[in-house]
Amino acid sequence: MVRSLPLDVQDNIKFLLKFGHSYSYIIKRMPGVKKSTISDYKQIWFPNMGPLKSGRESEITVTTKTYIRQSVTTRKLKTKKDVQRYLCDLGCAIGYSACLKLLKSMGFQARIKKHKPFLKAIHMKKRLAWANTHKDWTKDDWRRMVFSDETKLNVWGSYGVKYYWKRVDDKFRFHHLDLTVKGGGGSVMMWDWITYDGPGYACRIYDGTMKKQDYVHILNTTLMDTLNYYNYDPKNIYLQQDNNPKHTSKVAKAWFEENNCDSKTIYSWPAQSPELNPN
């Protein structure tokens, strides 16, 4: 038999049950009322109602969650620590793991930032101008383009973030380690060409710093070897090189003239352009 309660108390319990509040929440606001009594009334008023909310009621209001969602999206709050600090300032004592759970419940996921060159307004303007210059190029025009660039190759692989797949109950294995050596293991600087028909001949820059005379030597060897390999005529190619003083030096210009390379067909990358990736 259900314990008889004053009508006003019954109305309050019915109201709280209707909105799905937990037993602990109702008991806290209805002192002297037992959980079994609330359960009995629930069966009378709402026989088809599912289980009530479990656990402690959240101290974070909907308005606060909306502000956090907007602030994280706009980077006003940048990290989990920023969110935790903001909630603590509001009087919500929340731990680091609970803060992480809150962000995940909003749909946020942590991701590693991608590296991109810093662009000023002048960089964007030059990039757009370069794109507009080439927007009407045909496939045949691009077939004539020979790209060039230098890159650093790390002897022990990339210095970036590396991942591996592992199940929860798997034993730790040797290939789960990222082996390192003192000093990083060293690296080599390479210069190469990329054509429509494939990669060109590469050469190593031994002292790490290339001078204008070295660049002319590269033009005279690996570039010409690449053109000969693919049967390209130096007169009919477009040469793309990065915007470096050694490429526009008098020595380099003289080489282009001697080898019948039209200066109008030699292009320079806009500043802060992305590196070439043949993959």
Share of the chain above pLDDT 90, in %: 13
Reported pTM = 0.56
Q: Are strands 187-195 and 145-154 parallel, antiparallel or unpaired?
A: antiparallel
Q: How many helices (H) and strands (E) does the chain have?
A: 11, 6
Rounded-to-integer distance, Cα 89 and Cα 70, Å: 18
Please name which of 203, 255, 193 lies closest in space to residue 226, comparing C-alpha atoms: 193
Residue 56 has pLDDT above 70, yes or no: no
The Cα 128–Cα 132 span in angstroms is: 6
In order of their start, the domains of the chain are: 1-57 (1.10.10), 62-105 (no CATH), 121-268 (3.30.420.10)
Q: What is the pLDDT of residue 259?
A: 84
Tell me: the pLDDT tens digits for 88-115?
A: 888 887 888 888 888 998 888 888 777 7
Q: Give residue 278's pLDDT.
A: 53
Q: For the segment 195-241, what is each residue's pLDDT rounded down to a tens digit?
A: 999 999 998 888 767 788 888 999 999 999 999 999 998 888 888 87
User: What is the per-residue pLDDT across 6-54, written as a single tens digit (0 to 9) for each?
Assistant: 888 878 888 888 777 777 878 887 888 888 888 887 787 887 777 666 6
pLDDT of residue 275: 58
Q: Is the dihedral of CA 35, 41, 43, 47 positive or negative?
A: negative
Q: Are 79 and 110 in contact (CB under 8 A)?
A: no
- pLDDT for the residue numbered 277: 55
pLDDT mean across residues, the chain: 82
Is pLDDT larger for residue 242 or for residue 13? 13
